[in-house]
Amino acid sequence: VAARLLATHPRFHLAFATSDRHVGEAVDSQLGVPVSQKLRFEPNDAAVQLASSCDVVFLATSAEVSVEIAPAVLAKGKHVIDFSGAFRLESAEDYTRWYRFEHPAAPLLGRAHYGLPEIFGPPKRAVAGGDPVLIANPGCYATAAILALAPLVRAGMVEPRGLVVDGKSGVTGAGRKATEDYAFNEIDEDLRAYKILQHQHTPEIARALGRVADGVKGLTFTPHLLPIRRGLLVTCYARPVAGVLPYDIENKLAEAYAGRAFVQVCPADRVRLHRVVGTNHARLGAASNGDMVVVVCAIDNLLKGAAGQAMQNLNLLYGYDEWLGLSELQRVAP
Amino acid sequence: VAARLLATHPRFHLAFATSDRHVGEAVDSQLGVPVSQKLRFEPNDAAVQLASSCDVVFLATSAEVSVEIAPAVLAKGKHVIDFSGAFRLESAEDYTRWYRFEHPAAPLLGRAHYGLPEIFGPPKRAVAGGDPVLIANPGCYATAAILALAPLVRAGMVEPRGLVVDGKSGVTGAGRKATEDYAFNEIDEDLRAYKILQHQHTPEIARALGRVADGVKGLTFTPHLLPIRRGLLVTCYARPVAGVLPYDIENKLAEAYAGRAFVQVCPADRVRLHRVVGTNHARLGAASNGDMVVVVCAIDNLLKGAAGQAMQNLNLLYGYDEWLGLSELQRVAP
Amino acid sequence: VAARLLATHPRFHLAFATSDRHVGEAVDSQLGVPVSQKLRFEPNDAAVQLASSCDVVFLATSAEVSVEIAPAVLAKGKHVIDFSGAFRLESAEDYTRWYRFEHPAAPLLGRAHYGLPEIFGPPKRAVAGGDPVLIANPGCYATAAILALAPLVRAGMVEPRGLVVDGKSGVTGAGRKATEDYAFNEIDEDLRAYKILQHQHTPEIARALGRVADGVKGLTFTPHLLPIRRGLLVTCYARPVAGVLPYDIENKLAEAYAGRAFVQVCPADRVRLHRVVGTNHARLGAASNGDMVVVVCAIDNLLKGAAGQAMQNLNLLYGYDEWLGLSELQRVAP
Amino acid sequence: VAARLLATHPRFHLAFATSDRHVGEAVDSQLGVPVSQKLRFEPNDAAVQLASSCDVVFLATSAEVSVEIAPAVLAKGKHVIDFSGAFRLESAEDYTRWYRFEHPAAPLLGRAHYGLPEIFGPPKRAVAGGDPVLIANPGCYATAAILALAPLVRAGMVEPRGLVVDGKSGVTGAGRKATEDYAFNEIDEDLRAYKILQHQHTPEIARALGRVADGVKGLTFTPHLLPIRRGLLVTCYARPVAGVLPYDIENKLAEAYAGRAFVQVCPADRVRLHRVVGTNHARLGAASNGDMVVVVCAIDNLLKGAAGQAMQNLNLLYGYDEWLGLSELQRVAP
């Protein structure tokens, strides 16, 4: 998806694409869109060398691979936008615990920009001659959960302790693995929770919220696998601080995203996958009473939850409008 | 479904069936199973009169209708098993708030037996000549949530305040209405929350848990509509009391349901709809850490969540094994 | 979909839109895309009057309504592109038999252009001052079936008698009716044939094929309703004329569509909905032996099967490239 | 499914079960039903030896494996019901062409009983001391197609040449392979034809029809993969012999299946998967005009299309009613 968006972007073009599986095949026939040059897929291990021919490298690799390639690409002075979790967490220990590998490039963790523009702003580019930028493109569940909760946590309207995020995602979120777990017969007409209390987006959400307010602790996240292909919805639970009214909550969310191209605030029961799938939009809404604030947020896990957000980050890195090459999406969304 | 289970039960038989829509049609052709007698559907308003011909009346009517029919049937000395929410809550005020009608038979609320046998035991039958029994058959979400939480709440292992129930159900839970909301094009590949903070199973769950322990307050329940036909899963969140270990939680659940025919305790990530749809089983499991206990529970919303549980209650009312006429279900489950 | 495509077309703009259901609502909020002017929906019966303000009127009305509106719009000198079957058949008798109404504008039948550009070319526009054009935009099943069969029938490679078209379509083909037939519970995990030997696309396909070769008789068409939202596939069966080889069949199809923007010929087992849904492409392929030629063709029923093809016709009517405003579709297809 | 049906059959019991994948695991926990004895799965290559302990061996193996095991089991004097295509075709050459292997037990082909009881009657058991019986349990598509066409072909009401069978099946028909082809993301919301003109049920259907009438030639069969789990529907096309009326066709089908437990004849547009999935029923209906007879037939591919039919054959082999252990299925069908 990212390659397709890039190949058809009005300001950028695709310089190369690697895929061990499709080495030598024409890129345009795989993508199904015209590509400016006659590109063919290169082997994955040529990525660092090929980086010389471009300005920015997108890494749609696993975290274990990204930690190896990203430093090498940065060393060549090229920007990196990484789709994996390799540079989203705070410390090497987080990786040992949640990703179960030793992070070989821990110093980069502090330098990476967490690319959720609506909350953390555009990536900061050094002046000419400065260091290249490393953008950690957020996880799909994390994007939806942070958009839902950050304005309220930042404003001190909800208790930062004991937040609950109940997530539901379509199967494209799980990658293209051909394992029996993702066989049609196993998924269709089923629902199950997975990685309960162990999903790696838990510390990612907690860290991001911890950057907007003190006291974020004990956050719980449970992902579920939906029998659909595309789309992700989170239902977030937070306890309101005494005196906060439903009206305050709704106003705060509306205010936080006023003027943003890709976040729509609406009544909570009008948040649904159909309105966002195929677009780069997040749609969110809240309902609350004295006991609980419930915020529901829906995104397309492959767009705002991955490739669309990466394009937003790329646009912002170069000072363009964030919606460049993305605004047509809703035109043709199913 | 209830009529089909009843028509083929080894000990009971179907005495009559009403349906304004199918008046005069043969019951067996509608049900697709042989019915002992040559029954035809009667009009709904004949129900009270027909009650004379049987021992127990099943009411699969809306709450507004059940509150009218149930007292009349009980007055004829016949037992009632009501599928609606008409007799599940505590007080007339609860009905004004959550069901938005004035309850005309409030005195029956105290007398109704809440028919979740694994938690509240079998319905108590008076000795010969005593009053007939009114069984309030539990709601589908409520059944799953109470099975998940009651043992832990009762044992004081989790905080009774601030419980969260995130529910997801297939579309059969919504009845057979032909509204645009339930059109295939609206549901397929979609997900949305509905009746947020306003679903009538909220007070039902809270009341049931409040009967097993003190201090249940501020329970939050959010239902979601899944793009599947059948099956319901709840993900429940409760804060552990200090010192309670994951091991304790798992043991307590295992112990609570040891020897029960219809509740299986398993690892939380092995709870899924495929294992329960088509059967009267609930399948549940817990995961926990120091911050949160997560209990996942799956049922078939039409069986353990409705008609299957009603048969369990009927069996118990007459002193039979609770699985009579239900144990074959898993044999042929998809 | 048509209004959305039109509103965002690089050369045309949306002059007005009518909808009795949404009268007074902003058009852009319904479409989810920006509309050049601040349009609001007008009542349907204002359509003829509003026609004065534009050059071409799209009719997405039922055949019974189109037969009334189209003549009035043409009388004002405006072009009409009609999505219904109102002007696709040959004679008034065809309408009595297949549409079950008396056609009040039979003389227009001979004048209408059947807008399947790959087979029947672009609509012919009169010189300045001449009559406005009436384009009968083809039916969805008919589009796929004619693309599959016309080149072979025209070339005399298959017997024109006894052709069989077995069609399968997603539910969006059936419109937005909120009837019980299209309820999620009725469609999901089901399949059924409908209007067997009685579907109105039967004479439409037969007539179109009859225009490319003599002897087309006894064509049979059976539509089926798939449990998906979007996409349509036809499997067509024709007996090869003696001496015609598989190689000839494949060559003829490749040759017929060489250079066409929207028809891709490929091996028959690589024709699938996923490759066309969200685009204006038809994808088709053939397999054959001495007894039978099987041609499979897939389209998006809402694009190549309706609104996309209408845009193709509009582009051609004004002498633009047929892909204008349509070529971006595959960029963002799911 | 077969093991589950067998384990709970009122007259038979499961003597052993083999599964290389589950060796040593308890059979009842895998099946989800109680099994009379404490069986554990044995390795597949123990099957022949274990055959000594029972009367009938079910082979749910591939054709290549069945051709090896079946002769060995028969040699021990035990009956065999084979689910594969290994003994359904006429000659060794058929296997070379359609199954692409050399058949090592060709003499058994003539001896095998093709187990479609409604068309070919019950398996004939030799008198005491005679040969054991080899039952070739029909393929799923073949079952539906033969039930749809055989009565009309046999009666000479349709032309035996040029029959067309357009089949559509859910994914369980494809076995449990974890290949990328059957991944959820590949199947959901898709449709495609496969093995066009090359599916091995083509000669199976042709042979069976050829046994009921002369002149069956040039039959074409196209299978399609539906985005559902369970259920199979065939749409069959045959040219009526001159003078045959729709009325004759319908009467012939009704007559052919009068009194049969598992075949229901109904109007063609009321044939749908929902009515048969979960049961051993075939449901079929015809529509016709002077050009074509269309017969639609739906079955559950795992029951009437496989395990259910095997139980029917087993019942008949032992002289029981064919519905024994199967009639409860529809009671609890979804």
Q: Is D331 in Cβ contact with B4 (below 8 Å)?
A: yes
Burial of B15 (0-12, 13-18, 19+ CB in 10 A): middle
What does the pLDDT average to over C289-313? 96
pTM equals 0.94
Residue-level pLDDT at B45: 87
Residue-level pLDDT at A330: 59
Least confident of A218-227, C4-13, C159-168: C4-13
Q: What is the CA radius of gyration of chain B?
A: 20
- Dist. CA A115–CA D185, nearest whole Å: 28
Residue-level pLDDT at D101: 96
Angle at C73 between CA C70 and CA C78, to 5 degrees: 120
Q: Which residues of chain B have pLDDT under 50?
A: none
Q: Is C158 helix (H, G, I), strand (E, B) or coil?
A: strand
The pair of three-digit structure tokens given for residue B225, joined into one six-digit string:
């509509």
Tell me which chain B residue has its CA closest to the CA of residue C177.
B180
Are residues B143 and B116 in contact, defined by beta-carbon separation less than 8 angstroms? yes
- Dist. CA D50–CA D53, nearest whole Å: 6
The percent of residues in chain A predicted with pLDDT above 90, rounded, is 80
Give ipTM to 2 decimals: 0.95
User: Is pLDDT above 90 for C160?
Assistant: yes
| Residue C65, number of CB atoms within 10 A of its CB | 17
Question: What stretches of C170-292 adopt beta strand conformation (E)?
Answer: 192-193, 220-225, 232-238, 263-265, 282-288
3-state secondary structure C40-77: ECECHHHHHHHHHHCCEEEECCCHHHHHHHHHHHHHCC
Residue-level pLDDT at D28: 84
Q: pLDDT band at residue D35, thresholds of 50, 70 and 90? A: confident
Q: Is B278 in Cβ contact with D32 (below 8 Å)?
A: no
For chains B and D, what is the number of CB pairs under 8 angstroms?
Answer: 45
User: Is pLDDT above 70 for A156?
Assistant: yes
Quickly list H helices, B103-196.
107-111, 117-120, 140-154, 184-187
The pair of three-digit structure tokens given for residue A21, joined into one six-digit string:
């599986």
Residue-level pLDDT at A6: 85
| Residue C32, number of CB atoms within 10 A of its CB | 13
Residue-level pLDDT at D63: 95
Q: Is B317 helix (H, G, I), strand (E, B) or coil?
A: helix
DSSP A183: B
User: pLDDT for B142-193, tens place per residue?
Assistant: 999 999 999 999 999 999 999 999 999 999 876 555 566 889 999 999 999 9
Output the CA torsion sign for D15, D20, D26, D31: negative
Are residues B260 and B118 in contact, defined by beta-carbon separation less than 8 angstroms? yes
Q: Is B328 in Cβ contact with D8 (below 8 Å)?
A: yes
Identify the H or E element spanning B232: strand B232-238
Residue-level pLDDT at C314: 96
Is A140 part of the annotated catalytic residue set? yes
Q: Is B302 helix (H, G, I), strand (E, B) or coil?
A: coil
Residues of D in contact with A178 (CB under 8 A): 178-180, 183
Among A179, A185, A229, beta carbon nearest to D172: A185
Residue-level pLDDT at B52: 92
What does the pLDDT average to over A226-246? 97
Catalytic residues of D, by residue number, are 140
- Dist. CA A55–CA A59, nearest whole Å: 13
Burial B31-46 (b: 16+ CB within 10 A, else e): bebebeeebbbbeeee
Residue with tokens 């007698």: B37
User: Across all residues in chain C, what is the average pLDDT?
Assistant: 92
The percent of residues in chain D predicted with pLDDT above 70, rounded, is 95
Are residues C107 and C129 in contact, defined by beta-carbon separation less than 8 angstroms? no
Residue-level pLDDT at A201: 97
Q: Distance from C214 to chain D by nearest Cα, in Å? A: 18
Residues C54, C140, C236, C266: which is the catalytic one? C140
The percent of residues in chain A predicted with pLDDT above 70, rounded, is 95
Q: Is B330 in Cβ contact with D32 (below 8 Å)?
A: yes
User: Is pLDDT above 60 for A333?
Assistant: no
Residues of C in contact with D192 (CB under 8 A): 233, 269, 271-273
Residue with tokens 């028909």: D173
User: Is pLDDT above 60 for C177?
Assistant: no
Tell me which chain A residue has its CA closest to the CA of residue C34.
A331
Nearest of A96, D229, C16 to residue B277 by alpha carbon: D229
Residue-level pLDDT at C32: 73
Least confident of A184-188, C123-127, D67-71, D96-100: C123-127
Looking from the CA of B325 toward its CB, the CA atoms found within 13 Å total 27
User: Is pLDDT above 70 for D321?
Assistant: yes
User: Is pLDDT above 80 for D175?
Assistant: no
The percent of residues in chain C predicted with pLDDT above 90, rounded, is 79
What does the pLDDT average to over A62-69? 95
Question: What stretches of C206-289 adopt beta strand conformation (E)?
Answer: 220-225, 232-238, 263-265, 282-288
- Dist. CA A281–CA A330, nearest whole Å: 9
Question: What stretches of chain A adopt beta strand conformation (E)?
Answer: 56-59, 79-82, 113-114, 134-136, 164-169, 192-193, 220-225, 232-238, 263-265, 282-288, 293-299
Tell me which chain B residue has its CA closest to the CA of residue C172.
B185
Of D13 and A239, the one with more pLDDT: A239
User: pLDDT for D105-156, tens place per residue?
Assistant: 999 999 999 999 999 999 987 656 678 999 999 999 999 999 999 999 999 9
Alpha-carbon separation of residue C134 from C86, C126, D68 (angstroms): 11, 11, 68
Residues B140, B236, B266, B297: which is the catalytic one? B140
Residue-level pLDDT at A9: 86
Are residues C62 and C95 in contact, defined by beta-carbon separation less than 8 angstroms? no
Q: Is A187 in Cβ contact with D176 (below 8 Å)?
A: no
User: pLDDT for A74-111, tens place per residue?
Assistant: 999 999 999 999 999 999 999 999 999 999 999 999 99
Residues of B with CB under 8 A from a CB of D: 4-5, 8, 32-33, 189, 229-230, 275, 277-278, 328-334
User: pLDDT for D200-251, tens place per residue?
Assistant: 999 999 999 999 999 999 999 999 999 999 999 999 999 999 999 999 999 9
Are residues D239 and D182 in contact, defined by beta-carbon separation less than 8 angstroms? no
For chains C and D, what is the number of CB pairs under 8 angstroms?
Answer: 145
Q: Distance from A305 to chain B by nearest Cα, in Å? A: 16
Residue-level pLDDT at B5: 86
